[in-house]
Chains A and B, each alone.
Chain A
Amino acid sequence: MDDLSKLCQETSDRIMDIVDQLQPVGAPVVQQELAQRHGLEVELKQLVRYMEWLRSSFPRKLVHAGPDAWSVVDLG
């Protein structure tokens, strides 16, 4: 499994790009897309924690779009 225990700009961008294209989208779909597009195999629990943290990102940030539904806003 790939490790998401550290914040990484490349990984953050990949996640936000996926959410941007598929929004509103759930974390399990993001998990599948990370595997298919980038070969990243990540635990769902770790991915959700990482996505929660991307709510603190700027200028692009993830936002909740409902229980386990995510969107992106671009504040740039």
Chain B
Amino acid sequence: MGIDKFDGKELEYLKEILASGQLSGQDSGFKGKVEAAFAEAYGVKHAIAGSAAMSLLIASMYAAGAGAGDEVICDPLVQFHAISAMWQNAHPTWADVCPDTWLMDPESARANITPQTKAICCTHLWGQPCEVDALRKVADDAGVVLIEDCAHAMFLPYKEKYVGTWGHIGVFSLCQGKHMTTGDGGIALTDDDELDRRIRSIIQFGESPPHLATVFRMTEMTAAVALAQLEKVKGYIEEYQRSYVVLEEVVSGCDWLQSRVIKPDCGNSPYIFSCLFRGDDQGIELEDFKQALFDTGEKFSIGFTQVPAYKYKLFTQPMAYQNKGCPLHNCPYYKGDYEYRDGLCPNSEQLLPRLVNVNCMVAEEDARRVADALRQAIAQVEGE
């Protein structure tokens, strides 16, 4: 949960919609307005409003040409891209992350390019930017589409412009608990007319679509809240940046918690604050620290997904498709030989169980309380 407030123009806009009687599918209404506002704010040609970031990722996979027998290079710390690829019957492969930033390593992405690859999907994890210029070069060299997952990365600068505008497509989430929320919702950005057309072609239809389309469009009510929130979100992010500094001060003062590196030219739109447990070297047990964090009463977590996505049964077993195998298991269209084996992404495997996370989308005063709790937990295990 963030510090979002819905005390601006949200109600005024919603009343206007209800009075109009047109609640959805209005390019001339609030959906069109919010698309234009996002396109202008990001300086891109097209913004597409959808029902969720997931639905726009699924549409983006289609737009990228990913289908049966194709591969999509995904981030192993999250599972959203891989699931989106599978909705298009494509086969997820995995690029490892860098050990200091926990963001996709462009060289690992390059090493995973095959003749089957149709897209690379990177995550600007928890509000910090990938080396998205290097990833774009990998994608362009291979002739594949770079999809930026910007669900944690609203108005996040990388070098001279925002993430979401470096790749061919950028997808933002407006679901509950994101930098700005409409409950559920998403925005896709692109400068490419054809990608825009292809995404739009499968997120809405009437009685008979020319493609395998569905209804993934944004409603007028959602668009109205999004338009009102867009005016405020940069203010929220400024508050979260102050909160991040408060939490980072604690970690930088502890020699067995490793800070996450933010490289030069990289901004920070804090979402989850994360650091790495390195207490083993100093005789501090992870289980003891876990209990100490729990005792504080604050909402820390350790390990996030615990293991990379490719170790989840959703991917390792044929359950995702009614136990029928395709596209991941014995698929006749798949000509690759990719295996979901242990050690596939060693950095991800080492990092994940040791990540210490806490929500950073809080007011600065709340961050101070959480920081005190973290100090307390550190002192408790150091004193044992």
Question: Which residues of A come within 8 Å of B, CB atoms?
Answer: 5-7, 49, 52-53, 55-56, 58-59, 61, 67, 73-75
Contacts and interface: CB of A to CB of B under 8 A. Distances in A.
Contact of B353 (A53, A58, A67, A74): A58
A6 B299 CA distance: 14
A59 B307 CA distance: 9
Contacts of B301: 52-53, 55-56
Given A52-B301, A58-B306, A73-B312, 5 more contacts: A5-B295, A6-B294, A55-B301, A56-B303, A75-B312
A58 to B, nearest CB: 5
Contacts of A74: 313
B29 to A, nearest CB: 27
A7 B291 contact: yes
B51 to A, nearest CB: 14
Interface of B: 176, 290-291, 294-295, 297, 299, 301-303, 306-307, 311-313, 353
B313 A58 contact: no
B303 A67 contact: no
A53 B290 CA distance: 9
18 contacts: A6-B291, A6-B294, A7-B294, A49-B299, A52-B299, A53-B294, A53-B301, A55-B301, A56-B301, A58-B303, A58-B307, A58-B353, A61-B306, A73-B313, A74-B313, A75-B306, A75-B307, A75-B311
Contacts of B312: 73, 75
Contacts of B302: 56
A66 to B, nearest CB: 9
Contacts of B295: 5-6
Most B CB contacts (10 A, CB to CB) among A6, A53, A74 go to A53
